[in-house]
Amino acid sequence: MKAEKDPKTGKWLIQYRYTDWQGKRRKSTKRGFATKREAEEWLRNFLMTKSLDFNMKFKDFIELYCEDMGTRLREHTMRTKRYIIDLKITPYFGEKSVNEIKATDIRQWQNKLISQGYSPTYLKTINNQLCAIFNYAVKYYDLASNPCAKAGSIGKSKAEEMNFWTKQEFMKFVDELMDKRMSYLAFMILYWTGIRIGELLALTPGDIDLEKHTISITKSYQRLGKKDVVTEPKTPKSKRVIHIPEFLVADIQDYISSVYGIKNTDRLFPFTKYFLEHEIKRGVKASGVKKIRIHDLRHSHASLLVELGFSPLEIAERLGHEKIETTLNTYSHLYPNKQQRLADRLEKEYKEELA
């Protein structure tokens, strides 16, 4: 299995044998190397990958991890993972052997990330990704232990403060978008339903039942690279039917009537998240309300529901949360005032009984 010059191209190639995952012996050829050394190094790393020798470089194990996870995760989710891995993990650990990476190495990496001023939630996300790769190695390939467990975590799972608009702030904002009917309706639906951005962008006329006053959430849209991708919603519970108020039904009906030739399978909002980001900036500047992210409209809807007295279970079902714990953990800070009002009401009931 020595490298040799390819007479057709003048570059180096290497022929090799290996045992595949089914235990079968196979023969193959890899071409296109600039040097003999590059060809032999590639083969060395390839064979270590196949035999799962943890002397292999961490960047090669990452490729194994991504190849496997890529068949199980949504394309958008995998792209996000890959972005974090390529930008924040591989440059630091890529050339090290898997079994060479110790807790002290991870602590140094964590300290470097902390010094770069990232938000606590982003630090947590990056650290969790490295931990997930090592957990994968432990669970499926019998790596002795996960060094991240000894190093400890960094960051926080949720932000210190959640940004959202009150109803008054939202109405002030959306009034500035009435010059563009499509923008106006998109933000009206986001605020008054709490659906995710991808769910909004995947909506079709066929998803709207104007008579029953409902929107069916059955899919999600992302723009990945240069192609439109429509997938299943985020979780099984994300598939849901949302009841909407009459004023929103009227707005949707007016909008659909104004779009010439629209079919039941056409997207109601044939634009991307980038367009919405531009429009929210425009509306914020014109209205003077505080700046929030598009996703914060979902929090704004949830905070409105809390204020109106709806239970965490009702809110979880409307937002499509997989577990009610997600709702409680995300919006627990909005409930203390409700608890005080509840106690005040009980106090009033008790005193009325004594009177």
Looking at residue 22, what is its pLDDT? 56
Q: Is the pLDDT of residue 245 over 90?
A: yes
What confidence category does residue 265 fall into, taking pLDDT thresholds of 50, 70 and 90? very high
What confidence category does residue 85 fall into, taking pLDDT thresholds of 50, 70 and 90? very high
CB 16 within 8 A of CB 40: no
Angstrom distance (rounded) from CA 108 to CA 111: 5
Angstrom distance (rounded) from CA 32 to CA 38: 10
Q: Name which of 131, 256, 278, 255 is nearest 206 in CA terms.
A: 256
- Cα atoms found within 13 Å of the Cα of residue 18, Cβ hemisphere only: 18
What digits encode the pLDDT tens for the residues 267-292? 999 999 999 999 999 999 999 999 99
Look at 200 and 224; give whichever has higher pLDDT.
200
Look at 32 and 340; give whichever has higher pLDDT.
32
What digits encode the pLDDT tens for the residues 54-81? 778 899 899 989 988 888 888 878 888 9
What confidence category does residue 51 fall into, taking pLDDT thresholds of 50, 70 and 90? low
In this predicted structure, which of 186-190, 314-318, 320-324, 337-341 has the lowest mean pLDDT? 337-341
CB 242 within 8 A of CB 172: no
Domains 3-151 and 167-337 share a fold: no
The residue extents of the domains of the chain are 3-151, 167-337
Look at 331 and 130; give whichever has higher pLDDT.
130
φ/ψ of residue 265, rounded to 5: -100, 0
CB-based contacts of 352: which residues, under 8 Å, 6+ apart? none
What digits encode the pLDDT tens for the residues 154-202? 988 765 567 899 999 999 999 999 999 999 999 999 999 999 999 999 9
Angstrom distance (rounded) from CA 84 to CA 109: 14
Look at 46 and 239; give whichever has higher pLDDT.
239
Angstrom distance (rounded) from CA 326 to CA 348: 33
Look at 3 and 342; give whichever has higher pLDDT.
3
CB 54 within 8 A of CB 98: yes
Mean pLDDT for 6-18 is 87
What confidence category does residue 203 fall into, taking pLDDT thresholds of 50, 70 and 90? very high
What digits encode the pLDDT tens for the residues 90-143? 999 999 999 899 999 999 999 999 988 887 888 999 999 999 999 988 887 778
Looking at residue 50, what is its pLDDT? 62
Looking at residue 342, what is its pLDDT? 66
Looking at residue 103, what is its pLDDT? 95
Looking at residue 345, what is its pLDDT? 72
- Looking at every residue in the chain, the average pLDDT score rounds to 87
CATH of 3-151 among 1.10.150.130, 1.10.357.10, 3.40.50.300, 3.40.50.2300: 1.10.150.130
**CATH fold for domain 167-337:** hpI Integrase; Chain A (1.10.443)
Q: Is the pLDDT of residue 255 over 70?
A: yes
Q: Is the pLDDT of residue 261 over 80?
A: yes
Sheet holding 214-217, edge to edge: 208-209, 214-217, 240-243
